[in-house]
């Protein structure tokens, strides 16, 4: 894929009409907010399209266009302001990104985002990537079946059960997923999900979870962070461990190669996160199964803000603007703790202020709050990065912080 003629977009430039170089983002949540901060630090103006007048990214940006994601006037306003546009979440309508791309570069493009929006397309993409690339040898999807019709439900092979039934669209943070034990449970679960298109995945003996974040430019140049290990609680990321030795080197190399292959297969432009399961297969280190991809920066990459010389959001800016992609260097081992709304609620559900005095007194703690005005159970309110000179000290501090804040997910850390 060749770069559009308007690239690269250099920061701090002003056009003949007096317009500052402006980068736009579809979506106003925390990922958009951190993108805005990275772009502004480089000297760009920023614009956010999000219907929420109190969106975290909108409140931090030069321009906030308060319309729906498919609103034609809002899209025209955004494309008129911006030299390039990105997205902060995968459920922005692909058609809106197509409309924007008529007027300015959009990264990632509508086709890539559409794949990530639909688990059926996503599975097909992973399968095609593996078939066409020897790099992904030994890395596959979990065995699965597509269920869109009663006939497909009846034809599900018995060896896919027990399994996890997932809606093809709009599923994230554990939403739209049901564990099923047998054929009767599968039929009941599909009925409960209103018989929307779904994917049934075979339940596998899970050993660990990991993810890889890559950034790919318009000319196919690609850089990456080392794979990070993740712990989820109730389907939501709780802990990310990022340091040398967090997983066997051979397994880490395979995950990294597979993520790059997936990005290259569709000519991806931007930051991409690919999530993997490590499953028990009788070997010492286990086997890799590719789970899903996110066409944007990812919760598991937040540690890069404090542990690396270039963050995932810096790379998002560089990629969309056609700037060089520097290979990130991680200078400190790190652990990221996700902060959900429960941290602000006591056992009776009453609001209280977390003990930041105690948390911030711990060495190497970096608090990132997202500017959300209301804490709710399960809502991502912020994260805490812990860095240090060595893995042992980082783990010790993370345990202390987790204990102070009452965070789950630390049993194995």
Residue 78 is labelled as binding a ligand: no
Give residue 1's pLDDT. 41
Give residue 19's pLDDT. 85
Residue 298 is labelled as binding a ligand: no
Average pLDDT over residues 272-283: 93
Residue 380 is labelled as binding a ligand: no
Q: Break the chain into its structural domains and give their ranges.
A: 22-106, 143-202, 206-405
Residue 166 is labelled as binding a ligand: yes
Distances (CA, A) of 203 to 136, 142, 179, 198, 399: 22, 8, 9, 15, 31
Residue 209 is labelled as binding a ligand: yes
In this structure, which CATH number among 3.30.70.1710, 3.40.50.1000, 1.20.120.1200, 3.30.1490.20 belongs to the domain 143-202? 3.30.1490.20
Mean pLDDT rounded to a whole number for the chain: 93
Tell me the percentage of the chain whose pLDDT exceeds 90: 85
Residue 122 is labelled as binding a ligand: no
Under the banding of pLDDT at 50, 70 and 90, the label for residue 139 is: confident
In the chain the first and final C-alpha atoms are separated, in Å, by 42
Tens-place pLDDT, residues 72-88 = 999 999 999 999 999 99
Under the banding of pLDDT at 50, 70 and 90, the label for residue 234 is: confident
Q: How far apart are CA 136 and CA 142, in angstroms?
A: 14
Q: What is the CA 403 to chain-centroid distance, rounded?
A: 26
Distances (CA, A) of 103 to 1, 84, 210, 262, 351: 18, 9, 37, 27, 46
The CATH code for residues 22-106 is 3.40.50.20
Say if residue 409's pLDDT is above 80: no
Residue 31 is labelled as binding a ligand: no
> What contacts 85, CB < 8 A, 6 or more positions away?
23, 24, 25, 26, 78, 79, 97, 100, 104, 105, 106, 107, 320
Nearest-Å Rg of the Cα atoms of the chain is 21
Least confident of 215-229, 274-288, 316-330: 274-288
Mapping DSSP to helix (H, G, I), strand (E, B) and coil, where does residue 195 land?
coil
Residue 176 is labelled as binding a ligand: yes
Give residue 137's pLDDT. 57
Under the banding of pLDDT at 50, 70 and 90, the label for residue 171 is: low
Give residue 25's pLDDT. 98
Residue 378 is labelled as binding a ligand: no
> Phi, psi (5° rounding) for residue 162?
-65, 155
Place of tokens 């559009």: 4
Average pLDDT over residues 340-352: 91
Q: How far apart are CA 248 and CA 286, in angstroms?
A: 10
Tens-place pLDDT, residues 93-138 = 999 999 999 999 999 999 999 999 999 999 999 988 877 766 665 6
Give residue 356's pLDDT. 98
For residue 78, what is the enclosing H or E element? helix 72-81
Average pLDDT over residues 274-278: 96
Residue 173 is labelled as binding a ligand: yes
300 close to 314: Cβ distance less than 8 angstroms: no
Residue 175 is labelled as binding a ligand: yes
Give residue 388's pLDDT. 98
Q: How far apart are CA 386 and CA 395, in angstroms?
A: 8
Residue 7 is labelled as binding a ligand: no
Q: How far apart are CA 278 and CA 345, in angstroms?
A: 34
Place of tokens 């559900």: 349
> Phi, psi (5° rounding) for residue 222?
-145, 135
Average pLDDT over residues 34-43: 98
145 close to 198: Cβ distance less than 8 angstroms: no
Q: How far apart are CA 271 and CA 410, in angstroms?
A: 28
Give residue 262's pLDDT. 94
The number of beta carbons lying within 10 Å of the beta carbon of residue 112 is: 23
Residue 174 is labelled as binding a ligand: yes
Tens-place pLDDT, residues 368-386 = 999 998 999 999 999 999 9
Reported CATH class of domain 206-405: alpha beta
Candidates 166, 204, 159, 203; CA nearest to 183 is: 159
Give residue 282's pLDDT. 82
Q: How far apart are CA 367 and CA 338, in angstroms?
A: 10
Overall pTM > 0.75: yes
Under the banding of pLDDT at 50, 70 and 90, the label for residue 170 is: confident
Candidates 224, 260, 262, 251; CA nearest to 130 is: 262
Q: Is the peptide bond before 162 cis (omega within 30 degrees of 0)?
A: yes
Under the banding of pLDDT at 50, 70 and 90, the label for residue 16 is: low
Say if residue 15's pLDDT is above 80: no
Average pLDDT over residues 254-264: 94
Under the banding of pLDDT at 50, 70 and 90, the label for residue 411 is: low
Average pLDDT over residues 17-28: 92
Under the banding of pLDDT at 50, 70 and 90, the label for residue 204 is: very high
Candidates 222, 223, 227; CA nearest to 212 is: 227
What does the DSSP 8-state code read for residue 330? Answer: B
């Amino acid at each position: 894929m060749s770069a559009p003629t308007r690239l690269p977009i250099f920061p701090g430039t002003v056009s003949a009409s007096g317009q500052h170089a402006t980068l736009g983002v579809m979506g106003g949540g925390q990922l958009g907010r951190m993108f805005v901060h990275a772009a502004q630090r480089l000297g760009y103006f920023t614009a956010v399209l999000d219907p929420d007048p109190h969106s975290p990214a909108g409140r931090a940006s030069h321009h906030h266009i308060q319309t729906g994601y498919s609103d034609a006037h809002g899209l025209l306003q955004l494309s008129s302001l911006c030299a390039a546009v990105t997205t902060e979440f995968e459920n922005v309508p692909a058609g809106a990104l197509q409309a924007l791309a008529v007027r300015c570069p959009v990264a990632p493009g509508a086709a890539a985002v559409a794949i990530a929006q639909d688990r059926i397309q996503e599975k097909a993409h992973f399968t095609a990537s593996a078939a066409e690339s020897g790099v992904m040898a030994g890395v596959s999807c979990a065995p699965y079946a597509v269920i869109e019709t009663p006939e497909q439900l009846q034809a599900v092979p018995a060896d896919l059960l027990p399994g996890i039934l997932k809606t093809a669209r709009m599923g994230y943070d554990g939403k739209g997923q049901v564990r099923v034990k047998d054929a009767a449970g599968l039929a009941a679960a599909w009925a409960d999900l209103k018989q929307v298109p779904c994917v049934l995945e075979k339940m596998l003996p899970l050993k660990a979870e990991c993810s890889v974040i890559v950034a790919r430019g318009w000319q196919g140049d690609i850089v990456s962070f080392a794979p990070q290990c993740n712990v989820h609680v109730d389907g939501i990321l709780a802990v990310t461990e990022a340091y040398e030795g967090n997983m066997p080197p051979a397994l880490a190399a395979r995950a990294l190669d597979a993520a790059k292959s997936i990005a290259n297969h569709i000519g991806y432009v931007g930051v991409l996160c690919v999530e993997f399961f490590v499953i028990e297969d009788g070997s010492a280190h286990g086997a890799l199964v590719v789970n899903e991809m996110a066409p944007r920066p990812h919760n598991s990459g937040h540690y890069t803000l404090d542990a690396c010389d270039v963050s995932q959001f810096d790379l998002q800016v560089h990629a969309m603007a056609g700037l060089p992609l520097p290979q990130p260097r991680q200078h400190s081992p790190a652990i990221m703790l996700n902060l959900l709304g429960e941290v602000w609620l006591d056992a009776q559900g009453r609001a209280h202020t977390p003990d930041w005095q105690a948390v911030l007194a711990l060495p190497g703690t970096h608090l990132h709050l997202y500017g959300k005005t209301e804490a709710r159970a399960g809502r991502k309110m912020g994260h805490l990065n812990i860095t240090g000179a060595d893995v042992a000290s980082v783990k010790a501090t993370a345990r202390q912080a987790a204990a102070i804040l009452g965070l789950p997910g630390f049993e194995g850390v």
